[in-house]
Amino acid sequence: MGREKQKMEAIERMKFLRLHENVLHEFVNENKLNLSENGGILFWLNKKQEEEVKAFEAKCEVVVYHVIHSYTEFGELLAMLYVSKSSDEWECDREDLKQGYPFAYVKNFSGGSEIGVIGIKRQNGGLMRTE
């Protein structure tokens, strides 16, 4: 499975989520990720966040297409929505996404990071985590 096919799948997921057109444009043309926080407000990632994404992509051979940053009682969280290298999983992943529950790698800067399903909803051109 080539990274280009993963990127094409990521683009389709971004279109489905109806992320702001600039988010899609920057991902396609500049390989630049956007991050949602504070109720879906869009920002670019800082260096620390970029390094976390690159480390996860390299370790697990995934393509991250959007990041949700939040502060919770559990700590500072960076939820990375991604496309896995296994295309066999993509149809199921799309169905989960349609229900508002994509798989994400959640980096907890206080410890205890994990991959799992998170709840999301579209807001202000970006995404907001609901659970």
Q: How far apart are the first and last CA of the chain?
A: 31
Name beta bridge partners: 105. 80, 115
Q: How far apart are CA 130 and CA 111, in angstroms?
A: 21
Q: Which two tokens stand for residue 17?
A: 């989520």
Q: What are phi and psi of 64, to 5 degrees?
A: -85, 135
State residue 131's pLDDT score.
Answer: 82
pLDDT one-digit tens code per residue, 96-125: 999 999 999 999 999 889 999 999 999 999
Please name which of 17, 37, 19 lies closest in space to residue 99, comparing C-alpha atoms.
Answer: 17
pTM equals: 0.95
pLDDT one-digit tens code per residue, 18-37: 999 999 999 999 999 999 99
Q: Which two tokens stand for residue 120?
A: 């999301």
Q: Please name the residue that has the structure tokens 């990041």.
A: 67
